[in-house]
Amino acid sequence: MNTTKLLRETASQTAGPYVHIGLAPNQAGFDIFEKNFGNVLVTPETKGERIRIEGTVYDGSGTPVRDVLIECWQANADGAYNHPADRQAGKSVDPSFRGWGRACSDFDTGIYSFETIKPGVVEGRKGRPMAPHIALWIVARGINLGLHTRLYFSDEAEANARDPVLNLIEWEVRRKTLIAQRETRDGQVVYRFDIRLQGDGETVFFDI
Amino acid sequence: MTHAAAPGDEFMMRDTTSHPPAYSPPYKTSILRSPRNALISLQQSLTEVTAPVFRPEELGPLDNDLIMNASKDGLPIGERVIVHGYVRDQYGRPVKNALVEVWQANASGRYRHKKDQYIGALDPNFGGCGRMLTDANGYYAYRTIRPGPYPWRNRVNDWRPAHIHYAISGDGWVQRLITQMYFEGDPLIWSCPILGIVPSEEQIRGLIAMQDTSAFVPLDSRAYRFDIILRGHRATLFENFVQGAKA
């Protein structure tokens, strides 16, 4: 008997054009659940610097992908994940921050956004610190297996230069596709993060 | 033998032959929406082995009952079915407290979505979405109306088999999965471009729910069984945790 034979992961399939029905029914045009999962990760109690993430996803022709759904997963301001596997010493969980959100692009403009906080530094493998980052997962019609990427911050140049994941990207010229650009708009901090699925300036995607 | 999974353990590498490739020309939309560069493989860190935790009180009492959760003045029209099964990892261990979200068309093959223009009739008493958390055994169940097939603009006469979309969130970000479930015996399964790009017949069969007569409710509902396998924690014998800090 071969005890090392594993079950195979269930095959992925595209989320399709109507993904909003299941994951964001308000966007599909109807109201059904009492509590909806959305793109606002913060409550008034959440600790940390408020930021807005905003951008557009483009296909290989440069056309905005208007039916995309993006989820984010991030640590709190202290650099701790709200999950039992996070055992980093000296960091505390913020009970008012789950660290996860879900955004849809606007059907007309193609713009998506998250209202969140800037994450702290998380310890990486072998104790090496990772620069502040947010994990993103992108699904849509035409995407057969959800695409994973990371968002880093333009005002963390020093930490980014030492980040073990960015440094794994052999083509230095591609690293900048993962850096969101900081701007201030009416007193609000906004990080612009466009995602290019294919072609010139193609965003780096990870097999995690 | 494998050791018991501990939170913080790494997950098995993804077997890319289990999934359709990003660039799959028979499914036309994938042509411009697939990266041209190879994915960059990462050894997992805390970011990848953790994931959001959901609580039962965030869900409503009818969230897993698609027959009733959008009913306005009566029952939706169509075949009453229960869909149930287990979410497990690649070692067969139950995935507890996983968020399972489903969405689908109605009995006509029409979606309640402002972008769906198909002539098939909307049903005023059917919404088409539901969600639930798996229990301690990884078990989930919901009831619904069996969806109809529908036409789509790929080739001019392409029709999707009857299907229900699934999104599953498990213990780790790497387990995040979106897929579709089909119904045993549907002849459209074997001509669908979206299924045809799955690389093996074994993996296609893994997406087909089997009629489960043992779970029929007499004079009320038929039932289908659909199990889902997510990536498993890897046995890390000499390096226990991916982060430097110890338990």
pLDDT band at A5 (very low <50, low <70, confident <90, very high): confident
A-chain CB neighbours of B92 within 8 Å are: 7
Spell B131-140 as b/e; 16+ CB within 10 A means b: bbbbbeebeb
CB A191 within 8 A of CB A151: yes
Q: What is the pLDDT of residues A169-182, one digit of tens each?
A: 999 999 999 999 99
pLDDT (0 to 100) of residue B245: 47
The whole-number pLDDT of residue A1 equals 46
Partners of B27 on chain A (C-beta within 8 Å) are 14, 142, 144
> Look-up: residue for tokens 């794994």?
A168
Give Cα A163 to chain centroid, integer Å: 17
A residues 12..51 contacting B (CB < 8 A): 12-23, 25, 28-30, 32-35
A198: nearest CB among B16, B36, B41: B36
- pLDDT for B6 equals 66
Q: Residue A113 in 3-state DSSP?
A: strand
pLDDT of residue A184 exceeding 90, the answer is yes
CB distance A145 to B22 below 8 Å: yes
How far is B124 from B66, CA to CA, in rounded Å? Answer: 13
What's the confidence (pLDDT) of residue B234? 81
- Residues A63-108 have pLDDT tens digits of 999 999 999 999 999 999 999 999 999 999 999 999 999 999 999 9
- pLDDT per residue rounded down to tens, chain B (247 residues): 445 566 678 999 999 999 999 999 999 999 999 999 999 999 999 999 999 999 999 999 999 999 999 999 999 999 999 999 999 999 999 999 999 999 999 999 999 999 999 999 999 999 999 999 999 999 999 999 999 999 999 999 999 999 999 999 999 999 999 999 999 999 999 999 999 999 999 999 999 999 999 999 999 999 999 999 999 988 766 655 565 444 4
B168-B230-B247 Cα angle (round to 5)? 100
| Active-site residue flag, B111 | yes
Per-position DSSP letters for A59-119, written without gaps between them: -TTS-B-TT-EEEEE---TTS--SSTT---TT----TT---EEEEE--TTT-EEEEEEE--
- Are A208 and B15 inside 8 Å of each other by CB? no
Pick B45's closest partner by Cβ from A21, A22, A124: A124
CB contact under 8 A, A60 and B32: yes
Distance, CA of B242 to CA of B89 (rounded, Å): 19
In the three-class reduction of DSSP (H, G, I as helix; E, B as strand; rest coil), residue B188 is classed as: helix
Nearest Cα of chain B lies from the Cα of A187 at a distance, in angstroms, of 30
Q: A42-51 pLDDT, tens per residue?
A: 999 999 999 9
Q: What is the pLDDT of residue B247?
A: 41
- Look at strands A147-153 and A179-185 and give their pairing: parallel
CA distance B9 to B127: 39
Higher pLDDT, A36 or B8: A36
Q: Is the Cβ pair A144, B20 closer than 8 Å?
A: yes
Is B163 assigned a catalytic role? yes
Beta-sheet strands, E only, within A38-109: 50-58, 69-73, 100-104
CB proximity list for B46: less than 8 A, separation 6 or greater: A75, A81, A85, A86, A88, A122, A123, A124, B8, B242, B243
Residues of B in contact with A122 (CB under 8 A): 45-47
Res. A150: pLDDT tops 90: yes
Task: Tell me if chain A has a CB within 8 Å of the CB of B61.
Answer: no
Interface list for B 8-37 with A (CB within 8 A): 8, 12, 14-16, 18-22, 24, 27, 29-37
Residues of chain A in contact with residue B47, where contact means CB-CB under 8 angstroms, are: 73, 75, 81, 122, 130, 133, 135, 150
3-state SS, residue B70:
coil
Cross-strand partners of A137:
A71, A148
C-alpha to C-alpha distance for A78 and B58, rounded to whole angstroms:
25
